[in-house]
Amino acid sequence: MNDLDYKILFVCMGNISRSPTAEAVFLKKLTAQKVLHKVKVDSAGTHNFHPNSPPDERSQRHALNRGYDLSSLRARSVVASDFEEFDLLLTMDWDNRTLLEERCPAPHQAKIRGLAEFLQTTQSTVIPDPDHAGEQGFEHVLDLIEESSDGLLKWVMQKVAP
């Protein structure tokens, strides 16, 4: 494959906690595997609640405690060109997925999947919104994102390995 030939977009509702966390975690995993030059990673929200805002302070704090820096990321909403540009659009929950599927042109529907599909041992169909679950909610989201990112990395490596 050519450089940056595989492109992944992580999607949650407002693009201030789950999807930027997934972006940062996955970028670090790609870097560790020395394949960052082959994969583009971005994040966006189904809603434009927080345009150009940094990630939620709690998400940043919990992520930084595990070595992930979210401070340079900024919220944006999904735009029509994302469906064409990205090879995989990974949603955090069923609401995000439904909203994307409603907006996605038919030829690109198969690109939409849930990040939780890549969990390896934990049984969950979604990466839940941590906003109302207190501090432990942010830790739980990080646990799920780290585990699903490991599964996603195995899958992506099959696509970009020489």
Q: Is 3 among the residues known to form the active site?
A: no
Q: Is 12 among the residues known to form the active site?
A: yes
The pair of structure tokens assigned to 24 is 């940062």
> CA–CA separation, 36 vs 41, rounded Å?
9
Q: Which of 5, 18, 56, 61 is catalytic?
A: 18
Q: Which of 58, 129, 131, 150 is catalytic?
A: 129
Please check whether residue 95 is in contact with residue 13, taking contact to mean a CB–CB distance below 8 angstroms.
yes
User: CA nearest 72: which of 54, 91, 48?
Assistant: 54
| Residue the block writes with tokens 């595990």 | 66
Q: Which of 3, 12, 76, 104 is catalytic?
A: 12
Q: Is 131 among the residues known to form the active site?
A: no
The 10 Å Cβ neighbour count of residue 127 is 29
Distance from first CA to last CA of the chain, Å, rounded? 8
* Nearest-10 crossing angle of helices 57-65, 18-32: 30
Please check whether residue 43 is in contact with residue 23, taking contact to mean a CB–CB distance below 8 angstroms.
yes
Active site residues: 12, 18, 129
